[in-house]
Structures are given as structure tokens and as C-alpha cells.
Structure 1
Amino acid sequence: MNTFDLARVRADFPILSERIHGKRLAYLDNAATTHKPAAVLAAMDDYYRHANANVHRAVHELAARATAAYERARDRIAAWLNAAREEIVFTRGATDAINLVARGFLAPRLQAGDEVLLTAMEHHSNIVPWQLVGAKTVAAPLDEHGALDFDAWRAMLNPRTRLVAVCHVSNTLGTVNPIAQMIEHAHARNIPVLVDGAQALAHTRIDVRALGADFYVASAHKCYGPTGFGFLYARREHLETMQPRDGGGDMIRSVAFEGSTWNDVPYKFEAGTPNMAGAIGTAAALDYLDSLGIDNVAAHEHALLDYATERMRTVPGLHLVGTAPQKSGILSFVMDRAHPQDIGSILDMAGVAIRTGHHCTMPLMQRLGLVATARASLALYNGRDDIDQLVDALHTVNRLLA
């Protein structure tokens, strides 16, 4: 597809034909999870119908089919990121991947008082795992637009910083962080960097080699793939030094009651029966994105963000939260006359799906002096009609709660 054809794209997503309270569905909750195109559903269905078997070791035909498809998925993800296949560890999602790095990489290196340097916009899943292993979590401030105060962040790098962990894109503000520059400054002080790419994978081209990231994590379900699957990219030298977090089948080379030895990377981190259909569905999702062209998707979403920003500013009493110059398709907002929960309920009756609450960013909300926001988030199947439906419903909120 050389140009972005929204009507054709929408036809690929069966759920978009659903009627909600008798209204067309304007699904604007994509930062929470994206819908799945027919190609992903078909790939997973095909696996269960024609290749359902456990992977590795078995010699029968179904196992061979399953193993081939499963390992092709690893190759697909590696190619998407410009990584080596042995640097891709399959996980249950981005949260699971961060916990794996916390337990397997950071914990053995920690001493009392050691810090993980975050930003004030981080998701709970990029805060709590570091605390669980005993690290002190410190957060760099943001400016009044929700952009990282880069100079303040850089000044917080110090001899006790054992790791920098930062979201590529904020799930609450939409802010796109200057990841390459952050990695460059951290590496100048020999500090490794983990990037939470959960909100970036579906929206922009990612090259972990060009970025120089030590670790990059993401979840499939935010990128048109299935729930319960994600990955950790880690530089091979890190994976080689890390101890496995989980024990069981497939992560071992040998087992004896006197002791056991581990499999090669990445398999020493993949204990037990894996999510084969999840891997296959994720590969299909990346193939689908590739068929559209990620640059075409990014351009479409950026234009829609500009349109949505201008339209939402016409709503009396509405205040956007997060207006950084570098921003992805997330629009958090509050309204003078309405609690976010009430906004969400009224919009739902108009067929508009958004998210309300703290968005798993409670420290950010505290710093903003807010309890919650309403959040509309964009995906490749959204169009101006979705935004118009949203804005019309927001005017209804004002009328009902005047």
C-alpha cells in the first residue's frame, strides 16, 4: 500500500463494526490496548488448527511446524528492531520484561544506596520492579508542558546511578523522550539504559542499534497483537552475564539433583511451555504494520493528533494535560465541570471509548496536582470522524453537567 487508505485499514479490524449503545464505535483507548486485524486473528487460528503442539525437542510433524513458526516470530521481532535473534527474549509483556531485568541484571549489582534514575512520567511497571529489588528510585522533573527537563535529568546522573530506565513515550502525556541523547549521556558514564517501548512500538520506527539501548521492552497487545505476550531486547553481553529468573523446562542444558546448567541465550530465560500463539500473532501484527508502512502510519497519526488537539481546544472548560513539542497520539485532559469518571461514562453512551483514572502513573498525577485525567489515545484505524464524535460528546458533557 503506497498511500494510507483509512477505509481499507478499518475493514481489516472486525471489532470496529460493533455498535455501542446503538452508536458507531469511536475507539480511542488504544494506549490501553489496540484491536487486532483479521490477519492476526487468522494467524493464531491457523496455528491452533494446523500446528498446535509444544515447541522444541519433539520430532513429530506438528511440533516441527509449531517450532518453525515460533522461531520465525523471533526472527521477525529481531528484524523489526534491527537486533540479533539471540537478543530477543520472549516474555508475557513489557512489565514482565522489566521485572526480568530487575531480577536478573540489576539485583546482583546493587549495593546499599544505589539508584535507578527515572523520569516523573514513568508507568508503575517502570518504578515498582526496581523498588522490589532494593534500588532507590529517583525521578527527573518535567517542564510545564510535560517534557523532560533534560538538563536536570543529566545533572542527576551520579556515581550511585546503576541504571537509567525511561519510557520512550509517556502513556499519560504522550511525550516522546529524547532517547538517543539520554543513552549517549548515560553511556558516557558507563550507565546502562532500559527503554520502556510499550507506547512506541506501534507508532514509530525503532532501531535498537542506532539508539544504543542496552534493554528495550514492549508488549504485543499495544501493537495490534495478542495479550499476554511481549519481549525483552537485551544486548547479548548482558544476557550472557544474567542469571535466569525462572526455572523449569527448556531453560536448562542439564539437570541433576546435585545441580543444573542453563541453556544458551535467549532460551535460558524462557522456562516452561511458551505462548506459541502469542508469538505467532505478534509476528503477524508486525507483518501487518509492515504492509502499511510504519512511516505512513506515523504520518497519519501525527496529522490526526494535530487535528484532535485543535478540535479539543474548542471545548469550553477543557484543559489538555501534556503539550510537549515532541508528542505521540495521546490526549489527556480534565474539564472544569466534570470528574474524569463522569466524562468517561457520558462518552461511552455516545459510543466513544476512552480511559479515565491515573493511568498507572500515580507519582505523575501527584506532581500535577491531579487525581485523574480522561485520556483519548490514537491508533492507525482512527480518523477525523472519531475525533468529531469525541468532541461532540464532550460538548454533551458540558450541557449535562452545567
Structure 2
Amino acid sequence: MIQLIHWLLCTIPIVVGEVLPLQLDLDNSQITPRRSASRGDKLQVFHTIWGAIRSDFATDTDKVKGLYSQLGGFVRDEVQCSSGSTGRSACELQQEVRRHLRTLMAQRLANLLNAEESIQTYGMYIAASVEPALVRDILVHAIEDVYFHRPQEKLVQQLEQLYADRDEVSFRTMIEAQLALFWRYQAMQDSSEAFLFNVAHMVSKIRSHHMYASVDAGLQKRVEALGQRLPPVLGLLFDPQGFCLLSRSDREYIYTTITDEWNYGLNGRQVFSWREKNFTDSAGLTRAFVQEQHSTPLFTLRSELFKWYYFVDPSEGNRLAALRSGSPSSSTSTWTIAYAGDALIFRQRDLTLCAAEKFDDDRRLVKMLPGQMHTPPSEACQWLPIACAPPK
């Protein structure tokens, strides 16, 4: 109690069994309460302080937070919610203060999101100030506040800012925020391909982060539940282990040649699809990387066996090849990716990646072709991501 009164800087004289008339001076005064004050007397002090805060300091988050903390200690150490009228009244007051604190913090966070200002510092302040359950409650209410004011896919990126590098508490806070946003999206029965792409990318980054192993099992279970609600094709697209691509039309997989006899110019290696249906191996292992994060992200594609990036050669009928060294050009090696059911669709400008004509009896060229901008395009331009067969 002494800490509470000194924190508020108020004068509240207390005697055994009696609360004298109170004169609150929240600016400058002293108090020495008797330790023998009854629980009812102390509760009356809390009610009086709460009345003063609501009257003159309703938007002072620190004062509300301090009262909430002291009330928590009082309920924990001296009364129980089921211990008669005093306990019930104490818990009702605690909940009232909690709701007000939640509103203040959620509004501040929502204002920062709407203004597109940094939320990292305030997120750390929230996490350090209140218990995890209230942190989660604040995040849910802040997201509900901004959900119809901000682009959904943009909110995914903004909430990632809650994570401060190498800080486990902020990492968990960021995860809670992403979960709250996704379940809000689900509850609204919205449909946004850009949002789902960004969420799938975020889930992949969370799962592959070195701190994820230290996250409690309950939170991990909720992340996995979110992942199961995403289109499976996106889970494969962002799988850090990579994937192989089969054309829907021929069930032939894209692969990068592995011997020098199939060099492509001075700095490339040829890429084909192989005739054997549903066959995959390590030569086809591919990963997608977000190169530029826009409302529609741009991706690079990398053949993982030798870490060579795919690119398109306009001088050879826009055929696909792999760059053996150096940095790929953004104009020929970045794709937008859409999906249709269980298939991915890769595009550059008005061209779409498709299985093309035969190169020989075993191989087929893979090219960027025009006239396939409708969704879904022809089956030759739809690519099924699957797990590659493990090396023998």
C-alpha cells in the first residue's frame, strides 16, 4: 500500500477500522497508512484513487497501469474473488481498471498503425507492463480497431515490426499479433490473395526463426493451427526445405542440368522439364524468395542444388535458364506468383511461365508465353509444387 500511495503522490490518512474523509492530492503530498488497516479500508482507498484517476487522469496510461498492478497484488495476496462482498468488489474494480487500461493501450497502438509509425517501442512497453493475457487482449482490440482502416496485407508487414532483434518477448508479442490478425480475417470471412501470401510468408519466417524453438508449446500449437488454415499450395511455396514443380498438363518436373555439356552461354545452365511423369530429384529442388515486399510481392526462384537463380532469356524466345554466378537482373529474374487451387502461376509483366515445345525426346523447354493472363491459365502454365524425392 505504501508504494501505491507514494506512486500516486496522494494523501489518504487511514486508521484502524476506519477510513477518514479523503483529500487526494495527486501532485504533491505524503501518507503513512497504518499496516493494521482492514481489507475493506484498503479497498475503499483503491475505489477513491480510481475515482480520482477517472476524473482528472483518465488518459494517463502510467497511472492506470500502476493502479492495476497494485490492485493485482491486493487481489492476489489479501482477498479472493469468492471471499464475500469485499473480494467480489475488489475483483470487479480490478476488471474495470483492466478494461480501461486495455482501451488506452489498444487505442495508442491502433493510432500508430493507422499513422504508419513505428510500433516496436510501444509494443515492447506493452509487453513489459502487463501480463501476457492482457497483452494478447490489447493486440486483439487494436487490430479490431484498425482492421477496416488499413489494407490487410499491409497490416501483416506492420505487425512484424513488433519484433525487436534478439528479444524473445517481442518475438512472442509479434506472433500473438499475427495470430490475432489472421483470426480476425477468418471471422470476417474475407478473401484476399495478397493477405494470404503475406501471412504464409510470415508463418514461414516464424517457424524457421531460431527463437521459435523456445516459444511455449501452446503458442506453437496455435501457429501450427494457423498454418493448417492456409492454402496448402502456399505452405509449399514458402517451405524452407524447398519444392519441386510439376506441370499440370504433363506432370513433368522442372530441373536444372548438372553437367557442363548443358551450359547455357557463358554464365548459365540449361533448364528443362523431364519426360518421366511425376519424377523428381535434387536437380529440381527450388526455393522462392521474396525480393520486394509490395501489396503484390516479387519473388526470385533459386535452383537449390548449386544455388543458381532462374532467369528468362528474351533473345531465346523467353526460355527459362539458370544463372551460374553473379546477381540476377530484376527485369528477367523476378516473378509475381498467383495460385489457382493447388497450382502456382509465375508471371513477368504480361508473360506466364509454361511448359513449351519439346527440345528432344526426353526434354521439354520451359518458356514465358503471352496470352495466358487469365486465371487459371492453360494447364501447361500451371505448376504443382510438391516435395522433392530425397537423394538416394
TM-score (norm 1): 0.23
Q: Which has the higher contact order (CA 8 A, sep 6+)?
A: 1
TM-score (norm 2): 0.24
Of the two, which has the highest radius of gyration?
A: 2
